Amino acid sequence: MSVAAISSPPLAVGSFLPRSPWRTGPRFSMALRSDAVSVARLLTKLRHDCATPLPVLQRVADAMSLAMRTGLAADGASGLPMIPTYVHNLPTGTEKGLFYALDVGGSNFRVLRLQLGGKEDRVISTEFDQVSIPQKLMSCTSEELFDFIALGLAKFAQKQGDEFHITPGRKREVGFTFSFPVKQTSIDSGILIKWTKGFAVSGTAGRDVVACLNEAMERQGLDMRVSALVNDAVGTLAGAVYWDNDVTAAVILGTGTNACYIEQIDAIPKLKGYHSPSGRMIISTEWGAFSNGLPLTEYDRDMDAASINPGEQIFEKTISGMYLGEIARRVLLKMAQVGGLFGNSVPQKLSKPFIIGTPDLCAMQRDQSDDLQAVGSILYDIAGIESDIYARKTVVEVCDTITERGGRLAGAGIVGILSKMEQDSKGIVFGKRAVVAVDGGLYENYPQYRAYLRDSVTELLGIENSNNLVIEHSKDGSGIGAALLAASNSMYKHDS
């Protein structure tokens, strides 16, 4: 199993995504029918409200930089959370030994082990497994859930093959990727703020999740300790920097979204007096909470009002995979109600929230056939919708408009982070090669989204700076990165 990240070439100027062949001009033309005027008006307004010309992108990037500074100054301020991770020892390639990773962030958890051989051999062997968490354990006690996780980790450790070996007299060490809201207190401790993603486990909120895991491992008789607690963005950065020293930031674009970057300690006022041996620390921006200057529509506002966290995570609700399909569904529902997009009746299933997923948007945008047959099939399979070519073209246009906004805003967020770093230390980013590692199913599997993201970065940075920037896909980097952080923060790292 290769753990090397797959690099994309430096950014280039120009459009990364040609318009579909059935479009004429900047947008497609269509023959009007009796109810098409209302649909056309809704589509025009959607395009207008979602528009991301360069001035809008620049406004968002500048606002992101400002929100970062505000969040670094003090907790509870009006800026981003900017959570200190206490990760200041990054992998260098010199690490040796056997290290594990545990990745808990949803209805499954992953376990992984790496045998590291130092500068010459790097990663000698890797192995991983995935375990499903039963539904009943998502609303059980803390002890029950962590005992189940520790048991899965213990079973995986017992299956250790001959190509993996631990130095005699040492405990196994594990990097713990825990992708729930946590207030980090050190490299190997963090207090759970609340459960999300459908979990309602009692007795964990307000407790150190590393202590919960360590206690469970002891109950299972597993001789292992947590050396690093990280989230998926931090793990991705660590996994990427192991192979490429020019990596400065990492972004997760999947069901949810986050970004982290390497910050200088003296640029973190709220950590005044804290000493870092390296003089730097990874900061988790929690940029899903960003909301300033975003181009929003009535559909965004309605979706937010109906969500479990109204008024929160607005950037995430605009750019991440969880929500793009739902925004499109709300647009299509109104077009069906006001303009009869799908005939005289409104398809009943179209009223069901989240029935259209972001993978459906991607699949429909990939249809290049003259009659958009795949689009018609997807609409029928999802919601029993019978559609003509006019409706299908409209659906694809809606998908493209929402995806374009999401990708371009994500790109503006990346530029906001890089610009903040550059403002503090001239030449640290734009004067040389810089790499941003990106992981997540949305970025990996949605080529149109990737293209729009790259376009916006290029527009904002210009030719010279964008030629120095590499946006690198670091597939499944968070688990490997957690194991590498366990190695770089090992209790045995100074042993000869």
The residue annotated as part of the active site, out of 232, 300, 367, 439, is 232
Rounded distance between C-alpha atoms, residue 358 and residue 19, angstroms: 20
Question: Could you tell me the two tokens for 426?
Answer: 């001239």
CA atoms within 13 A on the CB side of 495: 13
Rounded distance between C-alpha atoms, residue 364 and residue 376, angstroms: 9
> Does residue 218 contact residue 258 with C-beta atoms inside 8 Å?
no
**Considering only CA atoms, which of 285, 335, 340, 329 is closest in space to residue 306?**
329
> Using N-to-C axis directions, what is the helix angle for 447-467 and 358-365, rounded to 10°?
80
| Strand 182-186 relative to strand 189-192, pairing | antiparallel
Is 232 among the catalytic positions? yes
Question: Could you tell me the two tokens for 56?
Answer: 């809008």
Contact residues for 48 (Cβ-Cβ < 8 A; gap 6+): none
> Does residue 240 contact residue 250 with C-beta atoms inside 8 Å?
yes
Rounded distance between C-alpha atoms, residue 349 and residue 329, angstroms: 10
**Considering only CA atoms, which of 92, 85, 81 is closest in space to residue 187?**
85
Is 352 among the catalytic positions? no
Rounded distance between C-alpha atoms, residue 449 and residue 307, angstroms: 24
**Considering only CA atoms, which of 140, 144, 157, 149 is closest in space to residue 109?**
149
The residue annotated as part of the active site, out of 194, 197, 349, 352, is 197
Task: Please give the positions annotated as active site.
Answer: 197, 232
